[in-house]
Every structure is written in structure tokens, then in C-alpha cells.
Structure 1
Amino acid sequence: MNFPAEEDFHRLLDALTLCVLLHDAQTKAIVWANRAACVALGFSLEELLPLKAPDMTRPEPKYRREIGVAAMDRAITQGPQVYEWCYRSRAGIDMLSEAIATYVPLHERAVVMVQFRDITEEEATRRKLRRYETRLREFMQDLGEGVAVLTPRGKLEYISESGRRVLGVGPGEPLGGVPDYCTPADRNRLITQLRHATSEQPTHAQRYRITRRDGATRWLRITCRRVAIENELNGLLIHFRDISDEVATEEARRTEARMLEYAGRYNAMGEMATAIAHELSQPLAAVRNFIEGAIQRLGQGSVDSAIWGLRSADRQAEHAALIIKSVREYIVKREPTETHADLRDILGDVAYFIELRAKEAGVRVRIEQASEALPVFCERVLIGQVILNLAFNALEALTETKAATGVVTLATAMADGRAELRVIDNGPGVPADAHERLFDGFSSSKAGGNGIGLSLCKNIVTRHGGRIWAQAAEGGGLECRVALPLERVHAPDAGV
């Protein structure tokens, strides 16, 4: 086999895009350079040979000739050495390079071959990335969110510094498992979310109540996604954010809404004070008459007649007590939790108060109940408040128009797969362009009204996943409808 001649080796090295300098192993003087090195440095080969390190190197302490010579010496005794060096071209242009010094014992003399390539742009990119990383770290110091990586075996492989702060874990402290921070009620739910994560898209955000390592209770919103980067990352990427302030604000709003709803019931009873007083006056007057009659009959020696009068008085007193009990139960009962109910029964709960108010106003109330059950899952008292507000609004509209044959119809029905309540009056109605604004809190169907009661109705119905709207009633007047989602009733499991 014929080996290439020396000139052929020179041609091969000249064809390289990598810069090559050959230094004498003893003196470290340049003995040869390939074409790429000559072009990069701006010197011909003849001009390069007598040059020393200071002639073609950036004048900085870390690029002193002694440091370059030491790297070449280590290449002779320890093998190839990789180091950073900044060459300077004839035109004064600096070229930051990655240099590799390799000892090569040739036949004529031993040399150190230095290969170098321009890494100026790479280094600039690295510095820029380091600056971005520093800025990002500074920025994330103030974030209430964190990122963690969970291995397929459930081990926390990585967590950001901000994530440690969110969880209340100090530097160097063991992290434990992710579910360990959740309350027992939420732990299984979080495990299920992690188990169902896919690589296509993040899971739907879910909120969890956690106990931090320092014992503080906080709320987190968590999303996760499976990631698999070959030879680098495999597992679950978890993003969590502290939303305790949001939860506190929501809770404050819910409390405020409940207080407003509670006050609405007091207001409704206040508006009915005259009607309730009138309703109570009848049994109380009868009680007085029966007792006075019994006293007279006792004076006349008619004991049987006196006993009959006292029993009649007792029945009237019981009737008055029932009226007071109904009012008291309606005002005091708050039912802060949802319950199973039939919309027809809820209408029945408040029908007494509506009829009482209508009797005072001289308006007839007609109740039309659906023939089938209308199961809903709701806060029963609040839905009753909606019915009461809508009915009172209709009664006032009829009272102000002084209609001789005012009628308010309260109907329940099944419509489009929902439980529906309809409150219809035969009054003057409202303009068609006002129907959509009726429940916005600034409109009312009655003169002098501000619509706050109707706005409260919309808040309650919307919170229950329902819809409320108004439309013109057939034959004139206004019709308000409330549609609530039906509760899904599961059939009992069949026996084996």
C-alpha cells in the first residue's frame, strides 16, 4: 500500500475548514500552518513562522504566552488539552477560539498540533442565555408559582426555587412526594389527575388545598403534562400556582352574596308586614271573641258552651302560631349547602306568602304545577327567594296599574330537558327592548323600582347553572322564566 507523500498531507490539512498550527514541541515556535489558519489570522505562512503568542493574541493576562505554553506542555505529558484562547488577526479582530493541543512525534521533529475554531458567536449566545437565565431567576423569585418534574416512579427529580418557596420547603430540605402536601380529601383526586396526564396537552387546571411544610394552609392550581425527551427528561412536568388570594376573594364574594340573599328575605317580609299583620289580626280577634264569650257563658253557668268557646279560641291561636312559624322559618333558614329538591315543592313552600301578598293587593294567584317530577339540585331557600322576588315584582306591577282583574300565574313545567318556572302577569308589561336589561340590576318592570331584586335573582340562578329571562306574555303583560338543569337520577344497579 502506497502512503501519501508529505505534499499530499499538506494538501489534506489545507483543505480543512478547521484552523491548524504546528508548534515545535521544545521551543513552541510555529513551524507550519494550514490555509484556514492563515486566512483567519490574516498572515501568510512565511509571515506566521517568526511570530510569537503576543503578536497574534489578545493582550489580556489570561492569554499570556506562559499559559499557552503550559497547555502545550501538558499535552506532551498528559494527552490532548482543550482550552479557550483568543487569537487576534493582523487587522486587530479578536477571534475567541476553542483550542485543542495534541502532541505528535513526527520523524523529523516532535510537534504540538493546535487545532482551533472560532466560537465567538457561540460564546456570545451562551452569555446571552446566561443573562436571560439570571433575569428569569430574579423574576421567578417573586412569582407565586413553581415547576416540578416527577419521574415515572413518582420521585421528584426537579423543582424550581420558586416552587420550593410556594411549598414552604427550605434549601436542602427533602421534598417528599407531591400528594403529601394535599389534604386527605384531595390526595386521591391529585393522584388521579397525575395518572391521567398525557403528552398531547396539559390537564385541565384543578385546585387543591395544601398544607405547606411550615404548616401554613394554601390553595394551589395544578396542571401537568407527560414529557419524554430522549436521554434527557422522562416523566411528568407539573406546573403549580398559589391562588390563595383568589380563593379568599371568591369566598368573600360568596359570603357577601349570601348576606345579600339573607337580607333579601328580611326585606321581603318587611314588604309584607301589613299583609302579615292583617292575616294575624283575624285569628287574634277571633281568639278574643271566643274567650270573652266563654267568660260570659261561665257566668251564666253554661259550662259546655264555655268549653266549646275555649276550644275554638285554641284553634284560632294555633292558626296564628302557624303563620308566625312560617314567617320565622323563612327568614331564619339559610341552607348554605345544596340539596335534592323538586321544583314543584319549592313553589309550594313560598306559595303561602305570595297568596298572602296577593290577597292584600286584590290580585288573584293561579298555580299550575307540572304533572311530572322536576328534580333539581339547588339551595332550596335561594330558589324560593327567586320565585318570591319574581312574584312580588309581578304583584307590584299589577297594583300600580290598579287592574280590576289582575292575575299572576305561577307555573312549573318540563321544557327542553330542564325544570322551568314561569311567572306570568296580565299587567302592562315592559317595552320589548327592555327584556334583556331587566335583570342587569339597573332596570325594573315597576315604576320607581331599581331592579336590585331582579339582579339578585339572576345571580342566584346563574350560580345554579340556570338561565333567567323575560318575554312578552300572551295576551299582554310580562312573563319571566327560570330554567334550571335537571338533576340526573341514577337507576339502581340491577341484581346479579
Structure 2
Amino acid sequence: MFPTRRDIEQMILITGTGILIHEASSKNILWANPAACDMFGFSVDELKPLKAHHMSAQERQYRREVGVAWLQSAVVNGSSRKRWKYRAKDGTDFLTDACATLVHCEDGPVVMVEFRNIAEEVVLEQELSRVSESLQRIMTHTQAGIVVLDDDNCIDDISPLAAQLFSSTPADLAGIHLEDLGPCEPRLSDENVVARLNGGVGSVRISQELTNADGTTIWLAGELEIVAHDGIRSRVLTVRDVTERVEWERRNAYQEAHLQYLSRYNAMGDMAMMLAHELGQPLAASANYLSGLKTRLTADTVDRRSLGYGIDQIEKQLQRAAGIVQSVKRYVRRIESTAAVMDLNETVAESLYFVRLRAADHGIRVFADVPERDLLIEGESVLIGQVIINLCVNALDEIIRPTTEVKELAVQSGEADGTAFILIRDQGRGMAGGPGNRLAHGAFSSKQDGSGIGLIISEHIVERHGGTIEYLPNTPRGTSVRLAFPLVDSVIGPANR
């Protein structure tokens, strides 16, 4: 069954598409359907006398001669399509998608213009265009590259910057498995990665190591997550070049390890020297007593009291040697430990044992003002102890000089303004002409054969523990060295160390 002429007329009358009928030659309006009348706000009789400039927008591209040329193009070519902005009776403009078609009627040719309001579509189109352009600019210019992966972790799409990070082009990378370009950590097939992505609970941090043709290494870091759009779930990796950061971290780790090596090497050197020196005295005394006992044993008569006295003295000297060894063991028992909560006063006391041994050889008195209460800081006891010993030995070397009249070393600890501090004072030459607080910023030493390396190591150890080291004038003369470290919460007890 085919629609009748009346059916077609009825469809024209009820369609939402506006229809204008123009005379082919004059371009005058002959008729308009109800939809067109509603859009314009005019009746058919009001529309008939109107010309293009009466019912079109005032912009230059919609002037009367342009509209006439458009309709004439339909007369010549059979049809012509154009975006045309009409003007309604109330003065508002509306943009349309209009198609002019030549129709041969019984009374002569006419041009039928079908048009629909596309203002909302244009706004949406412009918005989508802006979003698309913005995304393209972001993908092109941002410092982060974008990689879209399929379910098998093969590259489905990739931004120009991301392709550049992989030293390739988007076209060459399409379809390549991401891990074929370089190992990822964690692996993309790792159960935790798969579970996290499938569960939609957030992103996964991924690092990737790439090797260039010249053998150099590039490190990438990014966030892999599931992005849902238009009913599709895509794996999107936002990736950045972090090579400089990784190389810096490696250099820093090497420097930290080297610092610890130098510090511990220096500490062990000091311990070895102290052991060699301090053990020499009790061992030599023991040898003397043993020699005396051997002499007495060869005599005609043996004095038991004399033998007992000699044995007692040998035992005392050996106990003294054992005490020195035990002290060294206590000092280095945490040589490989990591940072932990420690009592600074305990470390000061342990360090002063060795300082006093050296001071006693030169008749130097060591005055220590160390409170019994804990000064809890976070750090490595052996390293901080090495700093204390190093600074005290430097002070002793100054006190030993013949020009230093007061043969005393003063060591004090305490707390102030949320820090635990240690003061090491001598009354030597002081820092007149010296670099003051810049002592530890370079290889400075006032010793004739000194390199200043001990000061540099001490400074690095203190800085690594978040502390400060200052070299100040002492009163009435000499130098005062102040070490300070941040205190930790006093509720942390020994059980938590």
C-alpha cells in the first residue's frame, strides 16, 4: 500500500522539519508548513511578502545576495545544502541546516527549502571540539605521556610525547606489548596488579626501565588505571621520564654508603690505634710480672706471699685489658645497625671512655657534665659516637700544644628548644683568622699534616641525622663546638628502640 497524495500532504503538515516553498525565478515565498511558521513566529500570509534580508540574520555571510545565490544554485544544480541563520519575528536568530531542492510542479518550478534548528547541536559540537582540542593539546604538550593499553597490555593508542619517551613514533608502537619495550616493576601480569585493576579500587604505580640503542638507560614512572568512557573500559598509563630522579637517588645512595664506609673505617682505625696503645700497657706490665715470678721460682727458697702478689698483679692487668676490649665491643656492637631511637647521653658516655684514655696519656683533665636523664634522638649510635670522638680528639690535639696553658677539655650535654645538644670546649688558640662556621664546609684543618676530612665526614653524619654543627668562640678563649639533634617523643621507651 502506497501513501496517497493526501497522506503526503498530511505528513508535510505534521513534520517537525520546517519547509518553505520559493518560486524558482523570483525566489518569493509561496508557502510554508506549520513547523516553519512556528520557528519564525509568522503566519503563512506574513511570510509571503518577506525577502531574505527580512528573515535572515544580519551577519555578512547571511546577507540577501548570498541567500539568493544559494537558492539559484539549487535551481541550476537541482539541490544545494547550507547552514543558514534565520531571524524570527521576535528578533532572535536561529541557526539551521537547510537543504534547497528544485521541484517541478504543475504550475511551474519551485525551490523547496527544508530546514531544522541545529543551535543546540552546534553548541554541543563546539564543546566537544574544545574538549577534543584540549585533550590533544594536553597529550601533545604535557610533560606526562599517555598510553592506552588493551586487555592484553598491548599499545592501543599513545600520545606523541609518550612515543618520544620510547624513542619511537605512535604508528610504530601500535600493537606492541608494553613490556616488550622494557621490563616493568611490578610486572603487568602480577596478581596484585590484575586484581587491583579489575577491582577498580584505584591506580597502580608502574616503573619501567628502557635501554637505548647507545646503551644508555631511561627510567619511566607512571600510574596505570582503568578509565571508563562511552561504555568502554580502557587501561590508561600516565607516564613520565624520571631518569634524573633515579640517577640522583642512586648517586645519593652511593654517597650515603660511601659516607658510612668512611665513618666506620675511620671508627675502626681509631679503635685499632686505641687497642694497640691501651692494651700495650697492661700486657707489658703482665709480661714484667711474669718475668719476676720466673726469677723467684728459680731461687733456693720460694716466697709464697711474693708469688701471690705477682699473680694478683698479673690478674689485675689482664682484667684491665679485658675491660678495654669489652668497651670496644660495646662501642661497635651496633656497627651494622640502622637508625633507631637512642639515648644521646649513653653514646656520649661510651665515647668519653676512649677520649679519657687519650687525654690521660697527656695529663689532660676531662670534665663531663652529662645528666642522668635520657636525651632520646633518632640515629645510629656508632656514627654519632664517631663524631663526638673526632671532635674531642681535635680539641685534645689543640690542648696538647705547648702554648695552651689550660690543659682541660669540657664536654656538656643537655636539651633546649626541642633539641638535644652537646658542647665540646677547649681553651686553645681559638678560631682567630679561621673560617668560623665554615669549618666543616670544606677540607679545613689547622693541623700541619691535617686534611680536614674528619670534619667533612662529621658534618655529613650530623646533617644526615637532621642535626646541626656549629663552631663558636669559647669564653674566655678557645673554641666551643655545638652539636644539636632533634629530640623524639619522650614516650618512646627502651622497649621500642
Q: Same fold (TM over 0.5)?
A: yes
Whether the 8 Å contact between 2:423 and 2:481 is mirrored in structure 1 is yes
Superimposed CA distance per residue, residues 86-111 of structure 1 (whole angstroms, 9 cap, x where no aligned partner) = xxxxxxxxxxxx99755475975354
Whether the 8 Å contact between 2:157 and 2:174 is mirrored in structure 1 is no
The answer for the alignment partner of 2:436 in structure 1 is: 435
Superimposed CA distance per residue, residues 237-276 of structure 1 (whole angstroms, 9 cap, x where no aligned partner) = 9665534333322222212222222232245457xx4x65
**Which amino acid in the other structure matches residue 50 of structure 2?**
D
Q: Equivalent residues in 2 for 1:135-150 (5 A)? A: 146-147=145-146
The runs of 5 or more residues in structure 1 that have no matched partner are 21-32, 39-44, 54-68, 83-97, 116-125, 150-156, 198-206, 230-235
Whether the 8 Å contact between 1:383 and 1:460 is mirrored in structure 2 is yes
**Which amino acid in the other structure matches residue 457 of structure 2?**
L
Q: Equivalent residues in 2 for 1:196-345 (5 A)? A: 241-242=241-242, 243-269=245-271, 273=273, 277-299=276-298, 300-302=301-303, 305-324=306-325, 326-327=327-328, 334-345=335-346
* Residues 1:377 and 1:298: Cα distance change in structure 2 (over 3 Å): same
Whether the 8 Å contact between 1:219 and 1:247 is mirrored in structure 2 is no
Q: CA deviation at 1:480?
A: 0.6
Whether the 8 Å contact between 2:344 and 2:377 is mirrored in structure 1 is yes
* Residues 1:160 and 1:405: Cα distance change in structure 2 (over 3 Å): same
Q: Equivalent residues in 2 for 1:95-494 (5 A)? A: 101=99, 103=101, 108-111=108-111, 146-147=145-146, 171=175, 241-242=241-242, 243-269=245-271, 273=273, 277-299=276-298, 300-302=301-303, 305-324=306-325, 326-327=327-328, 334-431=335-432, 434-446=435-447, 449-490=450-491
- TM-score normalised over the length of structure 2: 0.60
Secondary structure at 2:466 match in 1? coil
1:340 and 1:4 map into 2 onto residues whose CA distance is: 94
1:12 is the counterpart of 2:57? no
- TM-score normalised over the length of structure 1: 0.60
The answer for the alignment partner of 1:34 in structure 2 is: 64
Superimposed CA distance per residue, residues 204-244 of structure 1 (whole angstroms, 9 cap, x where no aligned partner) = xxx97858899xx99876799xx9x9xxxxxx996655343
Which is worse superposed, 417-426 or 438-447?
Answer: 438-447
Secondary structure at 1:390 match in 2? helix
Whether the 8 Å contact between 1:393 and 1:445 is mirrored in structure 2 is no
* Residues 1:260 and 1:110: Cα distance change in structure 2 (over 3 Å): farther
* Residues 1:400 and 1:163: Cα distance change in structure 2 (over 3 Å): farther
2:281 and 2:73 map into 1 onto residues whose CA distance is: 127
* Residues 1:310 and 1:448: Cα distance change in structure 2 (over 3 Å): closer
Secondary structure at 1:470 match in 2? strand
Q: CA deviation at 1:286?
A: 1.9
* Residues 1:296 and 1:399: Cα distance change in structure 2 (over 3 Å): closer
* Residues 1:37 and 1:445: Cα distance change in structure 2 (over 3 Å): farther
Whether the 8 Å contact between 2:185 and 2:208 is mirrored in structure 1 is no
Whether the 8 Å contact between 1:401 and 1:427 is mirrored in structure 2 is no
Identical pairs, percent: 24
Q: CA RMSD in A?
A: 5.6
Whether the 8 Å contact between 2:296 and 2:302 is mirrored in structure 1 is yes
1:392 and 1:319 map into 2 onto residues whose CA distance is: 23
The runs of 5 or more residues in structure 2 that have no matched partner are 1-42, 84-95, 116-128, 149-155, 167-172, 212-216, 230-235
Secondary structure at 1:8 match in 2? coil
* Residues 1:49 and 1:379: Cα distance change in structure 2 (over 3 Å): same
* Residues 1:146 and 1:396: Cα distance change in structure 2 (over 3 Å): farther
1:257 and 1:405 map into 2 onto residues whose CA distance is: 35
Superimposed CA distance per residue, residues 14-56 of structure 1 (whole angstroms, 9 cap, x where no aligned partner) = 5453747xxxxxxxxxxxx933468xxxxxx69x969999xxx
The answer for the alignment partner of 1:66 in structure 2 is: none
Q: CA deviation at 1:365?
A: 1.2
* Residues 1:170 and 1:352: Cα distance change in structure 2 (over 3 Å): farther
Which structure would you say has the larger Rg? 2
Whether the 8 Å contact between 2:218 and 2:241 is mirrored in structure 1 is no
The answer for the alignment partner of 2:91 in structure 1 is: none
Q: CA deviation at 1:403?
A: 1.9
Q: CA deviation at 1:354?
A: 1.0
* Residues 1:12 and 1:173: Cα distance change in structure 2 (over 3 Å): farther
**Which amino acid in the other structure matches residue 366 of structure 2?**
V
Whether the 8 Å contact between 2:207 and 2:221 is mirrored in structure 1 is no
Superimposed CA distance per residue, residues 396-427 of structure 1 (whole angstroms, 9 cap, x where no aligned partner) = 12223542432111111111111101111111
Q: CA deviation at 1:347?
A: 0.8
* Residues 1:370 and 1:50: Cα distance change in structure 2 (over 3 Å): closer
1:35 and 1:257 map into 2 onto residues whose CA distance is: 86
